[in-house]
Chains A and B, each alone.
Chain A
């Protein structure tokens, strides 16, 4: 497989993945220590999906609508640690002044909301406006396997295909909707669903960020060229609970998937990068943001 890495610094892709990983791990730690309240849904284990796909998007014109598990997409699209962290901490310096929190983010062309499925027709509507305005942009919506239970997803597939809209539907199938395995949620085939509406569908089963970047790049180029919707299904796995404390999965299953950790896969493929230095810099950056955030919280109380 030809790897086109002439346009993107390899290290940058790893940096983004590690930034997401360390950020989410620190979030869970902050929650357990009582620095954060509310809930959050971490992206640990799925980093390659966001980083690989979003590397092909142009933040100044493309649009993303993500879901409750949206931090990885947010960081990949904006690289904005402070805005996200302070938002989750409920601070006025957060991207929505603390009003939205973890699940309700907005930053220019990036949006998230916490109702499963509801974000899908909104993305279709946005792509309609973009098509009329001839921005040549792609509107991407990220959903999960659990979201496939919501009828409005299928209403949206139907209309996006019928009206020829430049939408990328990404289904991150991590096999669990909260604590329920997809065998108790999904009948039939996942890929047959968008295909039934005449939507070209690609199925990926990899944690290799380069492969995801390459395949999704082709799809995104195609959407820009022919304006038709496309569905990308990525079989993936999260290493952390749905939110916090709600993980009843077999630990041996989790360990098995951890062998294919996207960060591990990358490090084993590209051995000549100074990972310790990369990790150190990223940890420093995020730790400093955490310190700033806690300081702001203390100033308020």
Chain B
């Protein structure tokens, strides 16, 4: 097993060797630093002219990547912290994703933007956020959220080789230094696991501690908060005998719902957990979509667990209280199932 940031690094290395169109852009990405989270470590030494460090100009950086892509290159662009994605919004929304449609498919530029979201490290209000909800709604933008579980390597290769739309890959700071567990023997800690590849090229993982009875709830989640979710689900099972099936997504806007729907047929109880701020967030979108199309499977009001819709404080204690943690997730699900 290797740490997630190393997996990403190795895949990009391999793809750059195979495909000369791939160029890396970002801030502070040259060796020996290799990027703030070391994802590009070693690559500027190996691929000199194809790893380009940029001034601190996120808007221009995406614009430049857009131009490179229009003229046939495949730029993979690192935005150092997910919080800085706000500076890229115009170039992504009013340029990159619109060119193909408004120019009637005369061009089809593809840029891959990678960025780490996530808190729990005391970095404070502008360096800890999970802002993916603002990008998931953008038409013609593929949004992926990497997981430390499952075939991470295959997912990245699939995105780079096969995805045709402009792409945003949401990574997670905490997950970078955690091992990518390939779920050999279909198990992970106390969970039985199953990997399901959707037609869109992303996979989701179903995890369940016990498969002998119908689950009490179906919990859809993704990204870094999975670490807290799994601890909470274990506690709910071992201390309260409440059984949950957890479904971890890797695509946020075009995933295959069938594993979730199969589980809902048994539980009728839909729960989502995300690290981002609530109110019109990812969970709201998932719940709404499932309710609109499969209302007959829902027996109980869905529960959407998020961080509260406010800023993330810097103090370690305050941050831990605010972001979804094992205790709060467990408590909210317990209260919900007993209401």
Q: Which residues of A contact B308 (CB under 8 A)?
A: none
Within 8 A of A (CB), among B49-97: 49, 52, 54-55, 57, 59-73, 90-91, 94-95
Nearest B residue to A113 by beta-carbon distance? B95
Please, what's the 1-or-0 string for A27-46, where 1 marks a CB less than 8 Å from any CB in chain B?
Answer: 00000000000000000000
B73 touches A129 (CB 8 A): yes
CA distance A147 to B102 in the complex (A): 22
Residues of B contacting A: mostly: helix
A100 touches B55 (CB 8 A): no
Nearest B residue to A109 by beta-carbon distance? B71
Instruction: Give the size of the chain B interface in residues (CB under 8 angstroms).
Output: 32
A49: Cβ under 8 A from any B Cβ: no
Q: Which residues of B contact A156 (CB under 8 A)?
A: 60, 63
B239: Cβ under 8 A from any A Cβ: no
B60 touches A155 (CB 8 A): yes
A126 touches B102 (CB 8 A): no
B68 touches A118 (CB 8 A): no
B64 touches A118 (CB 8 A): no
CA distance A100 to B61 in the complex (A): 25
- Most B CB atoms within 10 A — which of A100, A104, A129, A162? A129
Please, what's the 1-or-0 string for B230-251, where 1 marks a CB less than 8 Å from any CB in chain A?
Answer: 0000000000000000000000
CA distance A156 to B61 in the complex (A): 9
CA distance A123 to B63 in the complex (A): 8
User: Which residue of the partner chain, among B52, B57, B64, B104, contacts A122 with CB atoms under 8 Å?
Assistant: B64
CA distance A123 to B67 in the complex (A): 6
- Most A CB atoms within 10 A — which of B61, B68, B101? B68
User: Which residue of the partner chain, among B55, B68, B103, contacts A104 with CB atoms under 8 Å?
Assistant: B103
CA distance A104 to B64 in the complex (A): 19
A96 touches B106 (CB 8 A): yes
CA distance A129 to B73 in the complex (A): 7
A129 touches B59 (CB 8 A): no
Q: Which residues of B contact A128 (CB under 8 A)?
A: 64, 67-68
User: Which residue of the partner chain, among A118, A123, A125, A130, contacts B94 with CB atoms under 8 Å?
Assistant: A118
Q: Which residues of B contact A130 (CB under 8 A)?
A: 71
B14: Cβ under 8 A from any A Cβ: no
User: Which residue of the partner chain, among B60, B71, B98, contacts A152 with CB atoms under 8 Å?
Assistant: B60
Besides A96-B104, A125-B67, A158-B60, 18 new A-B residue pairs in contact (Cβ under 8 A), listed by A number: A96-B106, A99-B103, A100-B104, A118-B91, A118-B94, A120-B63, A121-B57, A121-B63, A121-B66, A121-B91, A122-B70, A123-B67, A125-B64, A129-B70, A152-B63, A156-B60, A159-B54, A159-B64
Listed by A's residue number, 5 A-B pairs whose Cβ atoms lie within 8 Å are A104-B102, A120-B60, A125-B71, A128-B68, A158-B60
Residues of B within 8 A of A (CB): 49, 52, 54-55, 57, 59-73, 90-91, 94-95, 98-99, 101-104, 106-107
